[in-house]
Amino acid sequence: MQRKKRNAVAVQAVILTAGEGKSLFPLTRECPKALLKVSGISILERLIRQLDRFGVRHAAVVVGYQKEQVTTALINLQEKIGMTLAIVENDRFAETNTLYSAALAEGCCRNGSLLLIDGDLVCEDAVFDHLLRANAEAVLAVDTGRVMGEEEVKVRVDHHNVAVAIGKNLASGSAEFLGLARFSPAVTREFFLEAKRLLKSGNHSHFYEAAFSMVMSHRRLTCLDVNGLKWVEIDFMQDYEDALRLFGLPSERQAFRVSRRSRRHYLFCPGPVLVSDRVKKALTRPEIGHREVEFSELFNRVRLKLARVFGVRNLHRYTCLVLNGSGSAANEAVLGSLGTKKKLLIISNGEFGERLIRLAEFLELDSQVVRLRWGQPFDLDEIERSVRRSGTDMLCFVHHETSTGMLNPLPKLAAIAKRYSKDTLVDAVSSLGAVPVDIEDNEITFCTGSANKAIASVPGLSFVCGKRAAFNALKAVKARSLYLDLYNHFVYSDRKYQTPNTPAVNLFFALEAALDGILDGGLQTTFDRYSALATQLRGGMKNLGFRFFLSEEHMSPVLTTVELPVGFEGDEFHERLRRLGYITYPGKGILKDRAFQVANIGQISHSDVRRFIDALARVVK
Ligand X SMILES: Cc1ncc(COP(=O)(O)O)c(C=O)c1O
Q: What residues make contact with ligand X under the rule CB under 6 A?
A: 326-328, 352, 398, 402, 427, 429-430, 450
Q: Dihedral angle at the C-alpha atoms of 295, 299, 305, 308, nearest 10 degrees?
A: -160
3-state DSSP assignment of residue 446 = strand
**Closer residue to ligand X, CB minimum distance, 32 or 350:** 350
**Closer residue to ligand X, CB minimum distance, 242 or 427:** 427
CB of 397 to ligand X, least distance (A): 10
| Cross-strand partners of 177 | 142
| Cross-strand partners of 423 | 394
CB of 354 to ligand X, least distance (A): 10
**Closer residue to ligand X, CB minimum distance, 122 or 426:** 426
CB of 104 to ligand X, least distance (A): 49
**Closer residue to ligand X, CB minimum distance, 179 or 350:** 350
CB of 430 to ligand X, least distance (A): 4
**Closer residue to ligand X, CB minimum distance, 36 or 344:** 344
CB of 363 to ligand X, least distance (A): 16
CB of 5 to ligand X, least distance (A): 51
**Closer residue to ligand X, CB minimum distance, 402 or 442:** 402
Residue 438, classified by CB atoms within 10 Å of its CB into exposed (0-12), middle (13-18) or buried (19+), is: middle
**Closer residue to ligand X, CB minimum distance, 120 or 401:** 401
- Do 320 and 312 meet the contact criterion of CB atoms below 8 Å apart? yes
3-state DSSP assignment of residue 548 = strand
Concatenate the DSSP letters of all residues of 8-28 into one string.
----SEEEE--S--GGGTTHH
Q: Dihedral angle at the C-alpha atoms of 502, 508, 509, 512, nearest 10 degrees?
A: -160
Instruction: Give the separation between CA 466 and CA 248, rounded to whole angstroms.
Output: 59
Concatenate the DSSP letters of all residues of 476-542 into one string.
GS--S-STT-HHHHHHIIIIISS-SS---HHHHHHHHHHHHHHHHT-HHHHHHHHHHHHHHHHHHHH
- Do 310 and 439 meet the contact criterion of CB atoms below 8 Å apart? yes
CB of 452 to ligand X, least distance (A): 7
- Do 534 and 431 meet the contact criterion of CB atoms below 8 Å apart? no
**Closer residue to ligand X, CB minimum distance, 179 or 459:** 459
CB of 609 to ligand X, least distance (A): 21
3-state DSSP assignment of residue 195 = helix
Concatenate the DSSP letters of all residues of 409-426 into one string.
-HHHHHHHHHHTT-EEEE
CB of 90 to ligand X, least distance (A): 43
**Closer residue to ligand X, CB minimum distance, 429 or 613:** 429
84-89 and 58-63 strand pairing: parallel
CB of 415 to ligand X, least distance (A): 21
CB of 262 to ligand X, least distance (A): 24
**Closer residue to ligand X, CB minimum distance, 333 or 416:** 333
3-state DSSP assignment of residue 228 = coil
Backbone angles phi, psi at 577, to 5 degrees: -70, -40
Cβ burial 128-162 (10 Å sphere, 16+ → b, else e)? beebeebebbbbbbbbbebebeeebbbbbbeeebb
Number of Cβ within 10 Å of residue 543's Cβ equals: 10
CB of 101 to ligand X, least distance (A): 45
CB of 402 to ligand X, least distance (A): 3
CB of 450 to ligand X, least distance (A): 5
**Closer residue to ligand X, CB minimum distance, 391 or 589:** 589
CB of 401 to ligand X, least distance (A): 7
Number of Cβ within 10 Å of residue 409's Cβ equals: 17
**Closer residue to ligand X, CB minimum distance, 226 or 334:** 334
Instruction: Give the separation between CA 178 and CA 233, rounded to whole angstroms.
Output: 7
CB of 271 to ligand X, least distance (A): 6
Alpha helices, DSSP H, located in 81-157: 98-104, 125-133
**Closer residue to ligand X, CB minimum distance, 101 or 450:** 450
3-state DSSP assignment of residue 66 = strand
Q: For the chain, how big is the Rg over CA atoms in Å?
A: 31
Instruction: Give the separation between CA 205 and CA 544, rounded to whole angstroms.
Output: 17
**Closer residue to ligand X, CB minimum distance, 173 or 327:** 327
Who's near 575: CB < 8 A, 6+ residues apart? Answer: none
Who's near 203: CB < 8 A, 6+ residues apart? Answer: none
**Closer residue to ligand X, CB minimum distance, 429 or 537:** 429
- Do 553 and 568 meet the contact criterion of CB atoms below 8 Å apart? no
Instruction: Give the separation between CA 573 and CA 581, rounded to whole angstroms.
Output: 13
**Closer residue to ligand X, CB minimum distance, 93 or 463:** 463
